[in-house]
Amino acid sequence: MTINQAQAVWELCRQGLPLMADDAESHWNNWETFEPDDHVRLSREALALIERSNWEVDRHAQMGRSD
């Protein structure tokens, strides 16, 4: 996981959402984007970190990496 992804997981845990954090971590470890549940209210910080983390996954795919 990248630093941004680890920070996003930490922020989700900090907000009391450990199951969502586990789900996000699982997606990012497989280089898949993560979409949080629309019914859960997240802070701007968490949303920004998720967006940045998903961008990293997309960028990884564009570069054709197979890590």
Task: Quote the domain boundaries for residue 55.
Answer: 3-62
SS3 assignment, position 44: helix
Taking the whole predicted model, whether its pTM rises above 0.75 is answered as: yes
| Cα three-residue angle 13-22-56, rounded to 5 degrees | 95
Distance, in Å, from the CA atom of 19 to the CA atom of 37, rounded to the nearest integer, reads 11
Domain count, the chain: 1
Q: Please write the tens of the pLDDT for every residue from 9-66.
A: 999 999 999 999 999 999 999 999 999 999 999 999 999 999 999 999 999 888 886 5
The answer to whether position 20 is within a domain reads yes
The answer to whether position 67 is within a domain reads no
| Cα three-residue angle 20-34-29, rounded to 5 degrees | 90
